[in-house]
Amino acid sequence: MSLSNATKHGSEHDIVLEPLQQLRTDWRAILQNLIVLFKLRVVFLLLMAATGGAFLAAQGWPGFVIMLLVWGAGGSAAAGASALNQYLERHKDGKMGRTHKRPLVTGAIANPAWVPYVGVLMVLVPVLLLLPFNAPLSFFLFIGAVIYVGIYTIWLKPRTLLNVVIGGAAGSAAVLSGSAAAGNWADPGALLLALVLFLWSPFHFWSLALLYRDEYARADVPMLPTQTTPRQAAWWVLSHTLPTGLAGLGLAAFPPLGLIYFLPMLLITGDLIWRNTRLILDPSPLNARNLFISSNIYLLVLLLFICLDSVLPF
């Protein structure tokens, strides 16, 4: 093949590949935008909380159908509420470095007027479908979305520093949706886990707000660290870290949990309190970041070992 023919062949090959490469790039961008819009990382934690509630209520493996119900219906409702939250906060998100690249801010999602309709449908469809068959599950899916969108996003967040204290009840609703799916929403262990989520939310978000204190102030969002000094905020964080740790350890007293759950929780709780103490001594962005990361690890360890200890035969 001559050089000119080879060059021509290569050019034709590139012409064929370019649309495919562009298509892959476009799909990757679309997927990333949807992950951010529906807050799928947060949804994953909520589904883990619901899974923990299901395992506690069933005192073991709840069954494949139950777990499919928890993850399908719970995932839809949580993702829909998250999209509504971002749509309502898109203007304030543009004022914060942490959120200014969200797709509703950058315009990556064109004509976003469809977002609230899709969000509402993602909440209402599983709620209404499940209502005749499992009213408690339907209720907790609905009330979780109402707390997150109506009470937290619309009412409390722009008005009071207690926003995340009450807004944490959305995480509790996720736990109780799991126990309701397993047929016993009022299981004592599940109720205590719901309390853990309620207590965990404020110190988790306050440590994040300490890290982005100036940005929340610029966006005029009255998170607690913007209304106090950083050290005072760190003490407020500890006021929720300690009861969260105690309640988390107390779960070991409820069947089907025991030492397999208790021992790793003792270690991670000690780490959490140590990092909070460091934050009080030095309320720096680095220590706030470390506590925020530790709070995520704490919740993940807690939920994973609930599931693990529930299914082990010893």
Q: What is the pLDDT of residues 285-295, one digit of tens each?
A: 999 999 999 99
Please tell me the predicted confidence (pLDDT) of residue 14. 53
Please tell me the predicted confidence (pLDDT) of residue 83. 97
Residue 283 is classified by DSSP as: -
Q: What are the backbone dihedrals phi and psi of residue 187, each rounded to the nearest 5 degrees, phi first? A: -55, 130
Angle, in degrees to the nearest 10, between helices 40-58 and 64-88: 150
Length of the chain: 314
Residue 270: count other Cβ atoms within 10 Å of its Cβ: 11
Amino acid residing at 135: A
Residues in the chain predicted with pLDDT less than 50, given as ranges, are 1, 3, 13, 16-17, 20, 23
- Alpha carbon distance 39, 139 (integer Å): 22
Q: List own/partner pairs for 218-227 with CB under 8 A and 24 or more apart.
A: 218/95, 218/96, 219/92, 219/95, 219/96, 220/92, 220/158, 221/92, 221/157, 221/158, 222/158, 222/159, 222/160, 222/161, 222/163, 223/161, 223/163, 223/164, 224/161, 224/164, 226/161, 227/161
Element (DSSP H or E) covering residue 297: helix 285-311
Residue 227, CA atoms < 13 Å, CB-side half-sphere? 13
- Alpha carbon distance 207, 272 (integer Å): 12
Which residues contact residue 99 at a Cβ distance below 8 angstroms, ignoring those fewer than 6 apart? 89, 93, 105
What tokens does 193 get?
């886990």
Please tell me the predicted confidence (pLDDT) of residue 11. 53
Helices (H) and strands (E) in the chain, counts: 15, 0
Please tell me the predicted confidence (pLDDT) of residue 179. 98
For residue 129, which of 89, 72, 186 has the smallest C-alpha distance?
Answer: 72
Which residues contact residue 247 at a Cβ distance below 8 angstroms, ignoring those fewer than 6 apart? 192, 195, 196, 199
- Dihedral over alpha carbons 32, 36, 39, 40 (to 10 degrees): 10
Please tell me the predicted confidence (pLDDT) of residue 161. 86
Residue 307: count other Cβ atoms within 10 Å of its Cβ: 18
For residue 277, which of 235, 245, 227 has the smallest C-alpha distance?
Answer: 235
Tokens 């030492």 sit on residue: 259
Please tell me the predicted confidence (pLDDT) of residue 38. 96
Angle, in degrees to the nearest 10, between helices 3-37 and 64-88: 90
- Alpha carbon distance 240, 242 (integer Å): 6
For residue 172, which of 299, 297, 58 has the smallest C-alpha distance?
Answer: 299
